[in-house]
Amino acid sequence: MKIGFHTDAFNSAYWSFEQCLEWAQANQVHQIECGVIDGVSWIHGLGYQPHVALYEDPLLLRRKMSEYGVEFSQIDAAYPLSGETGPLYGVPYVLKAIPWAKHAGCPSVATTDGLHKPEGLSDDEAMALMQRSYRQIVDVAEAYEMIITIEIHGYFTTDPERVSQMLDFVDSPLLRMNLDTGNSFIAGRDPVAFCSRFIDRIAHVHIKDVSESLAAAARGDQTGIAVSQCAIGDGMNADNIRRVLELLRDAGYQGVLSMECEGQAGPMIERSLAWMRKTMQELGIPEE
């Protein structure tokens, strides 16, 4: 398996994307995941945001990344698709991200639903709305041979029955799951059971721990968290993560394990990386 990280780890440090590339190179991490911005932002333009804008040339960025020995595992275009604004804003955003990702050498684009029950819609109405959106998205994804992942992150996707329906919205091998160990846990679910049930549909994995204080305050009340506020291995979810890694190993998963944690400008994500490498070695999982 390959270890990667989401550049959200360096949001609080106000790093640029290139600083993330430098960190990856220094720590021999060759996979990176980031959000994409459809437009311009002053904070991004000044180099204080570790994501990339879709106006940046993807081929030139791909060339720069190769100089650091880094490539994309996934780009994050996860504007919530479950609400009434999903077709208006989310679908065009994802459709623009797909060809950009193809030119950038990225194999996967992440999508998701909203954190809460959508206002003004019943659950079935929201599901029908998302199905129409995913049909449009997958139609384009198939033209570009791009994997579309549904990330476990929100009101519908942290419900195993609903996400099972979502994965069958379209009959395509390109519609897959982005398992998130932290979001499934904070929603009050069992990440191990989640992984076991959908093991054949998983194309990308977010490894996220949850601190004891956050678990006590929010487990069962939230459906998703941006990043963990503790190093991976230091929280309440560490044993579940280890068991998820065992399941993935036994299923022959050879994809990316993308760390999602607060980086503290380096120290916390470096502890996470050390724990990941140690645990993988103990479980007999080679790091590619």
Partnered with residue 37 across adjacent β-strands are: 53
Q: Which CATH superfamily is domain 7-282 in?
A: Divalent-metal-dependent TIM barrel enzymes (3.20.20.150)
**For the segment 24-58, what is each residue's pLDDT rounded down to a tens digit?**
999 999 999 999 999 999 999 999 999 999 999 99
Every domain of the chain and the residues it spans = 7-282
Q: What is the pLDDT of residues 52-98, one digit of tens each?
A: 999 999 999 999 999 999 999 999 999 999 999 999 999 999 999 99
Contact at 8 Å (CB) between 32 and 7?
yes
* Among 154, 277, 155, 254, CA closest to 202: 254
Residue 260 pLDDT greater than 90, yes or no: yes
Q: Is the dihedral of CA 114, 120, 123, 124 positive or negative?
A: negative
d(Cα 81, Cα 176) in Å, to the nearest integer? 16
- What integer pLDDT is reported at residue 228 of this predicted model? 79
pTM of the model: 0.97
